[in-house]
Every structure is written in structure tokens, then in C-alpha cells.
Chains A and B, each alone.
Chain A
Amino acid sequence: MTTMTDPPGQGFRLSQLIYDTRYRSLTIQVVAMILLMLLFSWLVSNTIHNLQNLGKDFDFGFLWQPSGYDINQRLIDYNSQSTHGRAALVGILNTLLVAALGCALATVLGVIAGVLRLSNNWLVARLMAFYVEGFRNVPLLLWIVLIFALMTEGTPAPSAFRGDTPSASMLFDAVAITNRGVYIPAIHFNAAFFESGLYNWLLIIAVFAASVFAVKRIGHWAAVKQEATGDRPTTWYLTLGVLIVPTAILMVLMGAYFDLPSLQGFNFGGGVHLRGSLIALWLALSLYTGAFIAEIVRGGILAISKGQSEAAFALGLRPGTTMNLVILPQALRVIIPPLISQFLNLTKNSSLAIAVGYMDARSTLGGITINQTGRELEGMLLLGLFYLVLSLLISGVMNVYNNSVKLKER
């Protein structure tokens, strides 16, 4: 009665593992797995062996030992008696700072250059082409070094502000541009609510964020009203008020005042010191990445067919509205994916901070700490992990955003 099925004695043959497509993929995977495990265990055993030969161990204890070196730019409290771990944290924050600043400025520069390169002004278009090609075709390292050197040579030293007839003067008596960086006024509080400055600022940011949210609700309310009645209520004064007033009241309550930079001893004192290394790195990263973004933006705008803007004009939309409602939403879909990878590149390239002595994660954790403790294996591992997590985070966040602007296919 079971003439159609295989003879039961036959069962499973070994050759089926290779020739039967049902099992073959499994076989291949198992073999690959075994080979991979072998490779890994080989590498690990080599490492253990080598460490033993060198008399070293694998230990992260160095992170809790005092570092002994100073870091000039620190967003959190740190001195040479702090631990290596805290030094690494300072470096990580510095990396995040320059990466965030760089991404913002690079986007602005890239959009401007990309649009201007399409300008019908011959000179401007050529100039932008020159900028884009110049930055894209010369190594970033060279640009960082050159911009740093240009800044130090092109701006006055603090000593130029000194004396009876100084050869340089401060902008509006509030901003000093020197070759050690830019000094800008700082905001301090007389009657702060918290001991730590960080918490005060967090409070202000929270209030401001709430205002922004309220403004959005107002916009929504106006849109609903427009839908219903056809008239859009004038909301700009309301918006402006909601945006500014709560934050301003809070600042006054906390006794905010400006701390202006002024010459003290060798340097300017007071205010906020944006160091030359930060500015040079920031500018170089932004200009370099901006050149790539410009090409992306140009490509995105060119990808939108002319019929779209013509159709929009035919509907009676003004150029500004056309850009906002028709061109940009479509161009964004083309622009955003490559933009993500440019942001990632910029973040990774910030590790070139080493060239200008900006103390980022690579210079503290992956540089001086490794050098002083001789823990290259542990240090490099941590550093690699940090960059990996950061990259994954950025691409994750940007992908979420990308999905939200993506054309919803019917």
C-alpha cells in the first residue's frame, strides 16, 4: 500500500547532505560555522599565548587609575588626578560635540553650495564647483592641517589686543577672535536653582522644548481652523511669544547675566572659549563633508523632473511654496539615504582630531591612555566598540527619519 514512498530501509544517506538541496544549505552553513569557530578559537588562542609570552594580562583595571594628564577642553569636571575612565568619557563627549556641530554645519554648507552650484550666475556656479572639487579631491587630513595652520596665521594673537594702541580689537566688545580660538560671552546665573550648571541648562532646554511643542500645537490648531473655515488665523505673534517668553522668564528668575571675555594675564578670561583646535576641526570636517553633501543635494534637485515645478506653478503656487510643498519633499527622498552615510563618514572622520590636537576619544582613550598604560588591546577594543555603537545609533536614528519621509507606496 505504500508503493509510492521510498523503501523504509533506505532512510537517510550521508550523500544526501551534499546532493539533496533540502540538506545542502544546512551542510554548507554547518561547515561554515565550524570553520568560523576554528578561525576564532585560533585567533583567541594566539592572543592568549602572545599575552602570556609578553607577561601581560587582559584587564580593564587601568580605567580606574589616575590618568596624570590634563585635557584642555572638558565638558565635564576633570583634572589630571581623575581616572583614565573619566578621561575617556571626556574624550567621548568631545567626539560627540564635534560630530554634532560638524553634521549641522556640513548640512547647511552642503545645501547652500549645492543650490548655488545650480545658480545661473556663472561666477558663483564656477566658484562652487571649484569648492566642491577642491575639497573632494584632496585628503581630509591635509585640509584639517591646512585650515588649522591658516587660522593660526590669519588671526591675531591675544597679545595683539594688549597695549595702548592694540592692533586688534574685539567685536562689539564681546567676541574676541584670536588664534587660540574664539572667545564668546557666556551666560551665568546669579540665583541658579541647582548647584551644577548642567542641570540648570537641562531645565532651560526642557522649558524651551515644551515651548516648541506648544508652537507645534498652535500650528496644528491653525491648520485645523483653515480646513474648517478657509481662513488661516494670524498666529505669528502668538508663536513668537510662546517660544520666547517662558524661557526668558525662567532665565530672569535664575538671574542670568552675560560674562564677557576680557584680557587677563596671557589670555582672555571669562566667557566661553571655543578652542582653535575645535574650530579648525569643525570647519575642516564641515567643509569637506559639505562638498560631498553639495553633490548629493545637486543630484537630488536635478532628479526632480521639471514638470513637477511647472505643474506647481500651473496650480498657482508661489516659488517658495513650490519648493516647500513640491520639490523638497520629493528631493529629500533622494537626498536622505546618501546623507546618512555622509553623517557617518563625518563622525568617523572626527577621529582625525589627532592632527590638530583636539582631545577626542581617540586622543584620550586610544592615544595618551594607551601610551601611558601600555594597554593597547583593551584600549583599542573599547575605542572600536564606541565608534561602532555610535555609527549604529546614527544610522538607526536616520533610518527612522528616512522611513518617515519615504514615499508611502500605494
Chain B
Amino acid sequence: MSDTHAQTVAFVRDTMTEQQEPPLSQSGAYKWMRENLLSTPLNVILTLVSVWLIYSVLSHVMPWAVFGIWDASSLSECRTIRDELYGADANVACWAVISERWKQLLFGFYPPEHYWRPVLAFVLFLVAISPVLFSSLPRKLLAFSVVAPFILFWLIWGGTIWGPICVALGFVIGWAIIRYASPYIGALGSVILAIVVPLLYWFVLAGPLDDLLASILPIGLEQVQSKQMGGFMLAMIIGISGIALSLPLGIVLALGRQSDLFLINKCSVIFIEVIRGVPLIVWLFTASLLLNYFLPPGTNFDLMLRVIIMVTLFSSAYIAEVVRGGLAALPKGQYEAADALGLDYWKSMRLVILPQALKISIPGIVNTFIGLFKDTTLVVFIGLLDPIGLSNAIRASTEWNGIYWELFVFIGLCFFIFCFSMGRYSLFLEKKLRREHR
């Protein structure tokens, strides 16, 4: 047996052959191309079509964009420079309009010496929003998020610092009443009181108090009218305040839509459906043409505020649907557990349901914000100078009359960068939430 065995093993290799490179067809760019671009006849055709598409677009756009003229003070000067450099037939961009007017496109007519204010406000906004967006950051930052709206408002509009402080004081009063008075007058009483007292304070006391404090200690920044704001700054202000202000209303509407109370439920449904059924542009025209009809004779506030009010109502309907999705996604056990603990409706919502539901809803809220931010371009139709409105105004100046694509390309790129990064963030968050739920 052992002999046979020894014979069958005719040869045992004791030295290894040199390791060889994989054949050319199985490595590097060739393999990659064969597998990813040319694997089937259909794929070959698709690849060819794509290459042709990319080439035909780039061959038109690239020379135009790359050879563009950056330094000129008017379109006619641009054309003279072009004639000198490339001849009269050349089709090149005149980026000079961007280099001369980019500040206007970003800030509108905001006084240039105060540009640091919106920039600082934007940075502070990012700081304030970060604890909401990234849960790994310390929770103490949330305190800043609460104060931030007042600081941002003061930075952008200016005026005395006492104005925002006096308004904020009203919220502090309301909070204090709920915190300290509820043991004495009961939960319901304190809630009612916490609504009535601050309202009374705002209507009666806040104005004189502000005047008084301002006359004693005039600390403040130079006031800037909202008419002077425009461009991307305007789009940001409308988008951010629209979403921020619509959150509370949206949550209430979402709860209302889930409520068993017939009347409240129906009112919420009607409100949400009416708002969502009509295009934003119609609401904006309503804000600019009709809002004055609905308010007491003689009242009149500026267009930007009217637009913010309308946008807030508009986005609250969308936020309500997002939050409703979050509420529906929660397992029923959470509701039952909260009931089993003996929590009443508001307590169970505040302590158990909403914190979880809102966390799930954040990607949806971010997406709503992206949509709203893009939709702010519609304000051009009611005469606000958003980026597109400003591009029209710039084209109306004698220097730049006749320029077209350059402004749109710039505006489009800015929007793309902003919305794309927001979209990526919301994707990241969705993935993270899915991991956590597993």
C-alpha cells in the first residue's frame, strides 16, 4: 500500500514559481473598461451615446466659460476686449459682471461696511443648528440654539439690542409661569396664564420698556431696512425663518391631524390640504396683493415680513405631513407605554413621543427646507430682489444690459452647491437613523 502511495505522488513541488502579473486583459484600465463600459452590446451603445453627449455639451460650454473675460466694467467693454483677444466671432463669457456685482448678488443692497453682520449671523446660525443636526455634539450647545434667533435678528436688522431682549423677555415670563406657578394654580391654569401674560406684556409693556432701556443705555447696531436686503441673503432669511417659524405650527397641525377630536382633526386636515393644494406662487401673490385686505384698516407691514408669514403658513403644512410621518413611524408600543406610565396626553407627547418622532423627521425637515429654499426664487414675481430678481435689475443697468447666461450660471451654481450639500447631509442622516433602528 505504502509503495503504491509513494508512486502516485510523482512529484511534489518544493520551490515556488515566481508570482506573475495578471494578464493585461484582467487588470487595470482595460479590465475596468471592459467590465464597466463595454460589457454587452447594449452597454457599448449606451457608452458611445453618453460620450457623444458629454463631448457635445463640453465642446460648447468649456471654451465659452474658460476663455471668459473677468475684467471689464461694462458689456460693451467686454466686447471690445473680446474683439482684441479672440476676434469678433468668438463666443466667450463675460464673467466681469460677476466679479463686479457678486457682492450685490449675495447681499443685495446691504451696506457694504456692514457685510460682516450677515456673515457672522450665518456662522452663528451654523453653530446654533449644529447640535440639532449632529447628535454627537454636547447638549449644552442647545441653550445657544434657543438664544440664537434673537441674536441673529439683531445682527441682521440692527437697531438697539433692547428690542430683541424685550421680546425674548416675554418668552422667559411664559416659561417662568409654567415652571413656578403650576404647583399653585394647576397645569391648565398655568398654561393659559403663560399664553395670556406674555401677550399682554408684548402688546402693552414691551414697546415702552424698549424705548426706556434704549434711552438709558443706547447699545445697538445701525439699523438696516429689510428693503435693503436681497440676493442670496434674502433667500436664506426667507428660507430659514420660514422653516424655523413653521416648526411649532407644523407640529401642532400634525398632532391635530392625528387627534380624535372631530373638529380639531377636520380643521387641521382642511388647513393642510388647502395649503398644499395651491401653488406657492398663488400664496405669494396673496401675500403681496391680498394680505392687506385681511388685516385691520391702516395696518401695513413690509413685503418681506408678509412673505415670511405666508411662507411660514405654507411650509407648516408640509412640515405637518413630515412630522405626521414621523409619528406614524413610531411603534405603537411607545404610545401604549406612555399611557401605561399614567402620563396625560401632553406629557406623553412631550416626554415620549415627540422627541423620537422629531428625530426621525429631521431628514424630511431638511428636504422640506431644500425645497423651500429653492422656491424662494418665486418671490421675484412679487418684486422682491432675490438672486433672480437682482439679475433682472443688474441687466437693467446701462452697463450690463444684454448680458444673459453668465448671471444665471452663477446663480445656478450657488444654489446647486448649497442644496447639494444639504441633500447629502439628509442622506447621511437617513442612513444613520436606519442603522440605529436596526
Interfacial residues, chain A to chain B (CB-CB below 8 A): 18, 25, 28-29, 32-33, 36, 43, 46-47, 49-51, 53, 116, 119-124, 127, 133-134, 136-142, 145-146, 149, 344, 348-349, 351-352, 354, 362, 366, 370, 376-377, 380, 383-384, 387-388, 390-392
Contact = CB atoms under 8 A, between A and B. Distances in A.
B423 A384 contact: no
Interface residues of B, number: 56
B412 interface: yes
B404 A149 contact: yes
Contacts of B375: 139
A25 B416 contact: no
Interface in B406-438: 408, 411-412, 415-416, 419-420, 423
Contacts, number: 147
- Across the A-B interface, give the 7 residue pairs with the lowest CB-CB distance, nearest first: A391-B277, A137-B419, A122-B36, A348-B279, A388-B277, A139-B374, A351-B279
B286 A354 contact: no
Interface in B279-294: 279-282, 285-286, 289-290, 292-294
A134 B37 CA distance: 23
Interface stretch (B39-47, B78-86, B94-102, B145-153): B39-47
B262 interface: yes
A392 B419 CA distance: 30
B378 A127 contact: no
Contacts of A25: 260-261
A384 B282 contact: yes
Contact of A380 (B43, B277, B285): B285
A116 B276 CA distance: 32
B415 A137 contact: yes
B111 interface: no
A46 B295 contact: yes
Interface stretch (B50-58, B119-127, B164-172): B50-58
Contact of A50 (B278, B285, B297, B416): B297
A28 B264 contact: yes
Contact of A377 (B32, B293, B370): B293
Among B43, B260, B293, B412, max chain A CB count under 10 A is at B293
Nearest to A50: B293
B282 A36 contact: no
Given A18-B188, A349-B279, A32 B267 contact: yes
Given A139-B374, A384-B282, A29 B46 contact: no
A139 B377 contact: yes
B296 interface: yes
Contact of A142 (B279, B370, B377): B377
A385 B274 CA distance: 9
B171 to A, nearest CB: 22
B274 A388 contact: yes
B263 A380 contact: no
B30 interface: no
A362 B282 contact: yes
A141 B54 contact: no
B381 interface: yes
Given A51-B293, A348-B279, A388-B277, A122 B37 contact: yes
Interface of B: 32, 35-37, 39, 43, 46-47, 50-51, 53-54, 188, 260-264, 267, 273-274, 276-282, 285-286, 289-290, 292-297, 370, 374-375, 377-378, 380-381, 388, 404-405, 408, 411-412, 415-416, 419-420, 423
Nearest to A381: B290
B267 A36 contact: yes
Contacts of B267: 32, 36
Contacts of A387: 277-279, 282
Given A46-B297, A122-B36, A354-B381, A380 B282 contact: yes
B374 A366 contact: no
A139 B267 CA distance: 32
Among A36, A50, A366, A387, max chain B CB count under 10 A is at A50
B419 A136 contact: yes
B294 A140 contact: no
B272 to A, nearest CB: 12
Given A49-B296, A123-B46, A376-B285, 10 more contacts: A32-B263, A46-B297, A123-B47, A134-B416, A137-B370, A137-B419, A142-B377, A344-B276, A384-B278, A391-B276
Contacts of B43: 119-121, 124
Given A137-B423, A354-B381, A50 B415 contact: no
B277 A392 contact: yes
A46 B261 CA distance: 30
A133 B262 contact: no
11 contacts: A43-B294, A47-B293, A50-B293, A116-B46, A120-B35, A123-B36, A124-B50, A127-B53, A139-B375, A146-B408, A380-B290
A36 B271 CA distance: 12
Given A25-B261, A32-B267, A120-B36, A149 B405 contact: yes
Given A53-B297, A136-B419, A138-B412, A124 B47 contact: yes
Nearest to A33: B263
A294 B265 CA distance: 34
A25 B404 CA distance: 60
B416 to A, nearest CB: 5
A28 B420 contact: no
A11 B225 CA distance: 62
Contacts of B296: 46, 49
A214 B276 CA distance: 40
B369 to A, nearest CB: 13
Given A119-B46, A122-B36, A366 B293 contact: no
A122 B36 CA distance: 5
Contacts of A383: 282
Contacts of B54: 127
A290 to B, nearest CB: 16
Nearest to A394: B277
Contacts of A53: 297
Contacts of A370: 289
Contacts of B294: 43, 46-47
B185 to A, nearest CB: 13
B281 A138 contact: no
Contacts of B286: 380, 384
Contacts of B408: 142, 145-146, 149
A388 B283 CA distance: 12
A12 to B, nearest CB: 19
A147 to B, nearest CB: 11
A134 B279 CA distance: 23
A68 to B, nearest CB: 21
A358 B184 CA distance: 65
Contacts of B378: 141, 352
A33 B267 CA distance: 9
A267 B214 CA distance: 69
A31 to B, nearest CB: 10
A380 B292 CA distance: 14
A108 B150 CA distance: 48
A142 B388 contact: yes
Contact of B377 (A122, A141, A388): A141
